[in-house]
Amino acid sequence: MNTQSNAMPDSVDSQRTAAAMRATRPFYWSVRREIWENRSLYIAPVAVAALFLLGFLVSMGRFPGKIRGALAMDAARQLEVLEQPYDFAALLLMGTYLIVAAFYCLDALYGERRDRSILFWKSLPVSDFTIVMSKASIPLVILPLFIFTTTIAMQCVMVVLSSVVLGISGLGFGTLWTHLPFVHMSVGLFYHLIGVHAIYYAPIYGWLLLVSGWARRAPFMWAALPAFAIGIVEKIAFNTTHFAAMLGSRLGGGPDSIPFPATDASPMHRMEHFVPINFLLSPGLWLGLVVCAAFLAAAVRLRRQQGPI
């Protein structure tokens, strides 16, 4: 009797675990499908990183002289000069992330309607909610994590190349390792990618996905036209620019974000003065997430009703 009573809870737990796995696997495979079908998600950042590393390698001939000049400066200016190529590399991949994410969102739902593959995907036992959420996870989760990993790997290659050149020139292999704040740089990069370019930009990605599910042609035009129309009408009717200021603040990361790159100090060094609670409690962050949720809910409803173009 004891054996049977012990086996029953185990059986119930196994069934619950199996049910949970069955519920999550459609989402998992939907995300994998997006990655398989959209190779530009990882090819474009890797190509940009490789191109930058090629240019960085060519510039290595002038690097020892630049480091000698930087070491003669004061500590703040020295840090700014040493971090400059690494900040530029991170900024370049951030820009690549935004471009790739925007084009992906505009084509995510529009593309399957254009090539009529939506008929096949709707025949599978996967809900429209799961499909839309899997597509939204690409710019919100997958891409920023991939860009973060790619940027860190690229910066490590840059440090190794620089250390070899400095060692050969007699400045020491460990010069950069002792002067660059790698932890602060990595934390600042992660904040900008996850905090600003993913979470704070969420309503923008939600809007692009909504337009992708609605537009019958030229989704880029339909995504940009309402913003221009609202700004022009507001300016003509009220002589104000509140909508343009709101949109600019959203694109800039909000009033509680850290500019990247900063003009008065190193952006990664300024992370020491950053208070995360101010960003997490900012009304703009949570209002944006609510707007994003509304856009995604509308996109789910549109996909349920829309057919091929």
Annotated domain spans of the chain: 26-305
pLDDT at 52: 93
Q: What is the DSSP letter of 138?
A: I
Alpha helices in 138-201 (DSSP H): 143-168, 175-179, 182-190
Note the pLDDT of residue 65: 65
**pLDDT score recorded for residue 246:** 84
* pLDDT computed for residue 21 by the predictor: 46
Residues with Cβ within 8 Å of 150's Cβ and at least 6 positions away in sequence, in order, are: 45, 46, 49, 93
Token pair, residue 101, equals 């994410």
Residue 139: what pLDDT?
A: 95
**In 213-222, which positions are buried (b, 16+ CB within 10 angstroms) versus exposed (e)?**
bbbeeebbeb
CA dihedral 24, 27, 31, 36 (to 10 degrees): 100
Q: What's the whole-number average pLDDT of the chain? A: 80
Query: What would the pLDDT profile of 227-259 be if each residue is shown by its tens digit?
Result: 899 999 988 998 888 888 888 888 877 665 555
Q: Confidence class of residue 107 from pLDDT cuts 50, 70 and 90?
A: very high
| pLDDT of the residue at 258 | 54
Q: How far is CA 296 from CA 25, 26, 136, 299, in A?
A: 21, 18, 8, 5
Which value, to the nearest 10 degrees, does the dihedral of the CA atoms of residues 118, 121, 122, 124 take? 170
Query: For residue 64, what pLDDT band results from cuts at 50, 70 and 90?
Result: low
Look at residue 211 in the predicted model and tell me its pLDDT. Answer: 95
Residue with tokens 């973060």: 148
Confidence of residue 184 (pLDDT cuts 50, 70, 90): confident
pLDDT tens profile 185-198: 888 888 888 888 88
- Residues 25-41: tens digit of each pLDDT: 888 999 999 999 999 99
What is the per-residue pLDDT for 74?
62
Direct distance between the N- and C-terminal alpha carbons of the chain, in angstroms, rounded to an integer: 63
114: its two tokens: 């254009």
Instruction: Report how far residue 271's alpha carbon sits from residue 279's, in angstroms, rounded to the nearest whole number.
Output: 13
DSSP 259: P
Q: Name the pLDDT band for 162 (thresholds 50, 70, 90).
A: confident
239: left (phi over 0), alpha (psi -120 to 50) or beta: left
